[in-house]
Structure 1
Amino acid sequence: MTLDPVMSAERTRRLVDDLRAKPAETTWIEFKENNADGPLIGKLISALSNAARLADQHYAYVVWGVRDGDHAVVGTSFEPTVKKEKGQPLELWVANHLQPGIEFRFEEVDHDGQRLILLTIPAAATAPVEFDRTAYLRIGSATPRLSDHPERLRALWSKLQPYAWETGVAAQFLSGDDVLARLNYANYFDLTGQPLPDNRQGIFDKLLADRLIQKDVSDRWNITNLGAILYAKKLSDFGPSVERKGVRFVAYAGTGRADDVSHRQDGQRGYAAGFQGLVDYIDGLLPRNELIGKAFREERPLYPSIAIRELIANALIHQDMTITGAGPLIELFSDRMEITNPGAPLVSPDRFLDSPPRSRNEALASLMRRMKLCEEQGTGIDKVISAVELHQLPPPDFRMEGDAVRVVLFAPRRFADMTPEEAVRACYQHAALKYVGGQKMTNATLRERLGIDDQNAAQASRVIRATLDADLIRPADAERPRAGYVPSWA
């Protein structure tokens, strides 16, 4: 989130004083007076960016105008906006020689009448930062090649693997009052089952432990992307990059997007604060079907509540947060519901049911499970398929669409009205669900799942044959045809 100029200048001055207060240069802080050599700056950015990630820092810094030995402010004549390198503006020249690109930033600082220059360098995020195709590292006052220190290279890669959007900063340089005003902290304690501390320090200790906030310079605080996306009272408080991750819901009067919009809701609160309200809102819009059982009538929603809940939670957890301007989208049509989240899936959609769970947003997923907003790891899709089968709905369709994942839940339809493709998909999902539950699909279990009468067993046999021909299932025992069927990957 961008600070206003006055606040930004104040934060920068405090940051410089915090850096000067360090007893000595660290691997992610460098002090200089006037040295403004372009290649030297490029190597420093590579070295300090990589060193910052190793030191679990979000940023590294170079300050011109501070004496190295005693950190006294002496001022500098370095002017990065004027400096040229090989005929190009310095910033452009350095940026063109870095891979992957990072958003380093020069700032001029007025420190009690002395002119300083602060260079802020983001820590390496996805790969070691290279200058002229060589990655560097800071060790003491030396800047060696990273490849000359394989043990540190391995350590750096291990640090890079878990780096996630969640750890980024959504708002910075906030007072304690500002943090508590922007986050629904009472909701955090309530949903995680923790008693609300009776003092401010206890509240901040808990928020800090779950990485919802982090310390900034002086006595100020940052709110992380994780804290904002889960507990924001208003997502708009955190700028477009967070606000546009809000969940959008649109209901149409017919079967297509050209039909009139009957209801629309754009998520304004964090996921934790708004999740249950969203599920209840959608559930309240759904028509009810009257199920006539053996002894009583029962009204059921058009779609199972557990399926809606799990699919929305999955969309939140598995979305690619780095795709700008896009968030989860829920669309309700007269004949189906579509739930879309940005980002290509980490596993093939036809293996959602059985593959070990993988999430881009592990901290988000962990907190969602702790708050019981979704099922335990790896069981959500099982619950969805089970609920769909219990309601004898057409099989859900899990598919990739461009750089997004879309799941379609279909309104009730008899087996006779299903397409051949839907029948095959239902057979495959049924076999997979049986297999992960330690059982095997048979003609009888498939008939029950599809609502086929016993006297029409041949219809189930034709579906099984078509699914075999599609190489989605196989006999559990080739020598015993009645042993049942399992997914082809089993």
Structure 2
Amino acid sequence: MDFVMNRVELLNIIENGENSYIEFKEEGIKAKELAEEIVAFANSEGGTILIGVSDDGKIKGITDKNIEEKIMNVCRNNCIPNIIPVYESVELDGLRISVVNIPKGLNKPYYTVDHKYYIRVGTTKRIASREELMRLFEANGSIHFDISPVYDTSVKDLNLDIVRDYFLKYNTFDLYEEDKKSLERILINADILKEVEGKAMCSVGGLLIFGKNADNIMPQNGISFAHFRGNEITDELIDKKIVCGRLQDIAEQMLVILKNNMKNPSTINQLRRQEREEYPVLVLREAIVNALVHRNYSILGSKIRIFMFDDRIEFHSPGKLPNTVTIEKMKIGVSYARNPFLVKYMENMRYIDQLGRGIPMIIKTMKDKGAKEPLLQESGEEFILSIYKNEL
């Protein structure tokens, strides 16, 4: 990776001060503190450390001729996994500044030799919370939140009638013919329950698919829907609903709500009335299920949001794209199961056709209908899919 900074660019950065991507440090910084800053940037979106600049932006310069080697040693020996920065030395008014560019980490989470995980928040670093650390491990594919245990839950929080129906249909045996111990072991093997210190607790996915009152335990579950007159959130609100429950029930209810909020004019063709869809039902169903299955459930308190406007529907799903998935890769069908439990069970119940096919299908269907190509974008901690109305 090439990284070249000229004198004017560096002066401009120093003048603007520290931010989420820029950190100032003086030459005397200790290896431990420098490692913490480097790890924080690598665990976040990357950034640049200027060594030889004080916190208030005064250019102090550096005198140590071996500073590049020392920085590289910190990245190699004090950061785990080791980090490879891009180093550059820039001279300002006779004073030398070390520019250390830390790329966004590909092997998150990173930690220091004293086993502390740091992230960058605003202009400072801090130790990652349990939820933030969980997301870092998820980003690397090391763990999957949907099969993690939900503490203070038990088999009593599951609707066993629905679990039984599932196993009768897809596994061809009756759970109610099993004794209590065998039933519990079957549910543990199916990841619907998780065994923790001898106790069987519901998994996140188990609650979302088979739970009685998942919303009381996981308030982030569900969809918040709003229909606006016009093309902006500030316009008049026509309809507003909160849809909760099991994922499969949410998908069905949300599809009905969207259909009820659409205008479907009809035409007379050879004495037959033909309905014309603003949005194909297949596309809406796929977009809803895609959001439910792939959102990041470790982000607490944030429901999926669906906004309907005159010209489009926006599906806001909490969580950035996982692992190495990019928007361009999604368009051609490359996918990554953030929640493999949810994918497996929703696929078995025929809510998902095949992993990775959803987005290409949505794009192709809307283009075939003559509509504007759907827009995929990341904004903060959200992934947003915008589907534009088929101009009838």
> Which TM-score applies when normalising by structure 1?
0.47
Q: Counterparts of 2:169 and 2:224 in 1: how far apart (Å)?
A: 23
Query: Which residue number corresponds to residue 96 of structure 2?
Result: none
1:132 and 2:114 aligned:
yes
Match for 1:214: what amino acid?
A: K
Q: Counterparts of 2:345 and 2:185 in 1: how far apart (Å)?
A: 16
Query: Which residue number corresponds to residue 365 of structure 1?
Result: 343
Q: Counterparts of 1:204 and 1:277 in 2: how far apart (Å)?
A: 31
Match for 2:206: what amino acid?
A: G
Closer, same or farther: CA 209–293 of 1 in aligned 2, 3 Å? farther
Query: Which residue number corresponds to residue 165 of structure 1?
Result: 145
Q: Counterparts of 1:354 and 1:268 in 2: how far apart (Å)?
A: 32
1:7-27 alpha-carbon deviations (Å, 9 max, x no partner): xxxxxxxxxxxxxxxxxxxxx
**Helix, strand or coil for the counterpart of 1:226?**
helix
Larger radius of gyration: 1
Closer, same or farther: CA 161–339 of 1 in aligned 2, 3 Å? closer
Q: Counterparts of 2:352 and 2:340 in 1: how far apart (Å)?
A: 13
1:97-137 alpha-carbon deviations (Å, 9 max, x no partner): xx99xxxxxxxxxxxxxxxxxxxxxxxxx7698773599xx
Query: Which residue number corresponds to residue 377 of structure 2?
Result: 399
1:232 and 2:208 aligned:
no
* Residue ranges of structure 1 left out of the alignment (5+ in a row): 1-98, 101-125, 136-156, 415-490
Q: 2:195 aligns with which of 192, 210, 215?
A: 215
Q: Counterparts of 1:193 and 1:279 in 2: how far apart (Å)?
A: 28
Contact 1:254 1:260 in 2 (8 A): yes
Match for 1:132: what amino acid?
A: D
For residues 187-336 of structure 1, the aligned pairs below 5 Å read 188-189=166-167, 192=170, 194=172, 196-199=174-177, 201=179, 203-216=183-196, 220-238=199-217, 242-290=218-266, 296-336=272-312
**Helix, strand or coil for the counterpart of 1:352?**
helix
Give me the CA root mean square deviation: 3.6
> Which TM-score applies when normalising by structure 2?
0.58
Closer, same or farther: CA 261–368 of 1 in aligned 2, 3 Å? same
1:412 and 2:382 aligned:
no
1:338 and 2:320 aligned:
no
Q: Report deviation, 1:237.
A: 3.0
Q: Counterparts of 2:212 and 2:166 in 1: how far apart (Å)?
A: 12
Contact 1:231 1:273 in 2 (8 A): no
Closer, same or farther: CA 173–372 of 1 in aligned 2, 3 Å? closer
- Quick check: which one's helix share is greater? 1
Q: Counterparts of 1:226 and 1:182 in 2: how far apart (Å)?
A: 15
Closer, same or farther: CA 134–266 of 1 in aligned 2, 3 Å? closer
Match for 1:408: what amino acid?
A: S
**Count of residues paired in the alignment:** 265
Q: Report deviation, 1:231.
A: 2.4
Contact 1:243 1:268 in 2 (8 A): no
Q: Report deviation, 1:260.
A: 3.1
Q: Report deviation, 1:213.
A: 1.0
Contact 1:179 1:221 in 2 (8 A): no
Query: Which residue number corresponds to residue 435 of structure 1?
Result: none
Closer, same or farther: CA 232–413 of 1 in aligned 2, 3 Å? same
Closer, same or farther: CA 404–192 of 1 in aligned 2, 3 Å? farther
Match for 2:361: what amino acid?
A: K
Q: Counterparts of 2:224 and 2:163 in 1: how far apart (Å)?
A: 24
Closer, same or farther: CA 171–282 of 1 in aligned 2, 3 Å? farther
Q: Counterparts of 1:170 and 1:351 in 2: how far apart (Å)?
A: 33
Match for 1:235: what amino acid?
A: A
For residues 48-127 of structure 1, the aligned pairs below 5 Å read none
**Helix, strand or coil for the counterpart of 1:357?**
coil
1:431-480 alpha-carbon deviations (Å, 9 max, x no partner): xxxxxxxxxxxxxxxxxxxxxxxxxxxxxxxxxxxxxxxxxxxxxxxxxx
Specify which structure has the bigger relative contact order, considering alpha-carbon pairs within 8 angstroms and separated by 6 or more residues: 2
**Helix, strand or coil for the counterpart of 1:172?**
coil
